[in-house]
Amino acid sequence: MPPGRVGCALRGGIEVVPIAFDSMGVRSMATLVETRDARILLDPSAALAPVRFGLPPHRLELEALEDSISRIESELEDADIVVVTHYHYDHHDPGFKISAEKYSSKLVLVKDPLRNINVSQRIRASRFLKVLKAAEARVRVADGQRFLVGKTEIAFSEPVPHGNTTKLGYVLMLRIGEGGDSVAYSSDVEGPLEGRVVDFMCGSRIAIVDGPPTYLVGRAYTSEDVARAAGNLARLSECVEVLVVDHHLMRDLNYPVFLERVSELSGRRPISAAELLGREPSLLEARRRELYGAASEE
């Protein structure tokens, strides 16, 4: 691992480095997984909520986004393989903020752009694939597939719903294994709400998953969904060594209450991506109203 970059090393030689996450100030799950055979960059993008609490992004959020994009571009330039689990802008970037040239010569493993996909993501996928073609990237559809690079295996799930509705489309889960160890990653399952997500990720040394969007309870999410997510995460925490829960959950300042609920069920507390790096979570979006209030008092 390069000097100055902190992550988590597995005994099999896999290194996991969160690059940008909600607990690091932006909407993202960008993660670098490095094995002896390949540097694999997952969902290399970042975004901000255009409006939260009736307010646009604060200056500190804009600075965090700029810093995150810089880190992602740097890691993308050195990556051998890029994975895009679905086509929301906080998980892929069709040349808006990230230079398309960074994909040149890369192997890009993508969610199927035509099947198990909603209309908006199909349109975004088409735009993204044109960017990849122009960059002369090597694109492969990943749904349900396994890819072998040396002794490193990248195994993808079949598509699973984006949360509690298929209206938002489908996403892919994946496991990266080498030397008897593995890391599992799942974007935007919003919980997870389905037992098959737990089944897929169980047995990995580290599992990285987006938690439930508790900030949407009463609108697009229910208290029953929260309870189901807590139960599934408790079960998952019992069959992995390190459970990282981030993304949607970190848009709620009360996220520790939910994690304590998981801990009570399993006896083990998940951590955020920031904590995996040894940092305190920085929930800028969840603090947006506070940030504007502090600015008005200056």
d(CA 240, CA 86): 25
HSE-up of 278 (CA within 13 Å, CB side)? Answer: 5
Tokens representing 197?
Answer: 């997500």
Q: Pairing between strand 152-156 and 146-149?
A: antiparallel
Mean pLDDT of 65-76: 97
**DSSP for residue 51:** -
Q: In the predicted model, is pLDDT for residue 295 greater than 60?
A: no
Q: In the predicted model, is pLDDT for residue 17 greater than 80?
A: yes
Question: Looking at per-residue confidence, does 297 or 188 come out higher?
Answer: 188
Q: In the predicted model, is pLDDT for residue 1 greater than 50?
A: no
| Helix boundaries (H) for the chain | 59-78, 119-134, 195-201, 223-237, 255-266, 273-276, 288-297
Residues 6+ apart with CB under 8 A from 77: 102
pLDDT for position 11: 63
pLDDT for position 298: 47
SS3 96: coil
The percentage of residues in the chain with a pLDDT greater than 70, rounded to a whole number, is 95
pLDDT tens column, 125-154: 999 999 999 999 999 999 999 999 999 999
Average pLDDT, the chain: 94
Q: In the predicted model, is pLDDT for residue 157 greater than 70?
A: yes
Q: In the predicted model, is pLDDT for residue 226 greater than 70?
A: yes
Question: Looking at per-residue confidence, does 220 or 235 come out higher?
Answer: 235
pLDDT for position 5: 57
Mean pLDDT of 226-240: 97
Q: In the predicted model, is pLDDT for residue 2 greater than 90?
A: no
SS3 241: coil
Please report the domains of the chain, with CATH numbers, ordered by start residue. 8-297 (3.60.15.10)
Tokens representing 184?
Answer: 């599992």
First to last CA, the chain: 41
pLDDT for position 165: 85
Tokens representing 162?
Answer: 């984006």
Mean pLDDT of 287-295: 89
- Reported as a pLDDT band with limits 50, 70 and 90, residue 166 is confident
Is the peptide bond between 192 and the residue preceding it cis, with omega within 30 degrees of 0? yes
d(CA 142, CA 139): 9
pLDDT tens column, 20-51: 999 999 999 999 999 999 999 999 999 999 99
SS3 170: strand
d(CA 82, CA 204): 20
Question: Looking at per-residue confidence, does 220 or 272 come out higher?
Answer: 272
Phi, psi of 148, rounded to the nearest 5 degrees: -115, 125
pLDDT tens column, 84-105: 999 999 999 999 999 999 999 8
- Reported as a pLDDT band with limits 50, 70 and 90, residue 6 is low
Tokens representing 14?
Answer: 């896999």
Q: Pairing between strand 39-42 and 81-84?
A: parallel
The percentage of residues in the chain with a pLDDT greater than 90, rounded to a whole number, is 91
How wide is the angle at C-alpha 276 spanned by C-alphas 6 and 262, nearest 5°? 175
Residue 295's identity, in one-letter code, is: A
pLDDT tens column, 180-219: 899 999 999 999 999 999 999 999 999 999 999 999 999 9
pLDDT for position 179: 86
d(CA 109, CA 149): 13
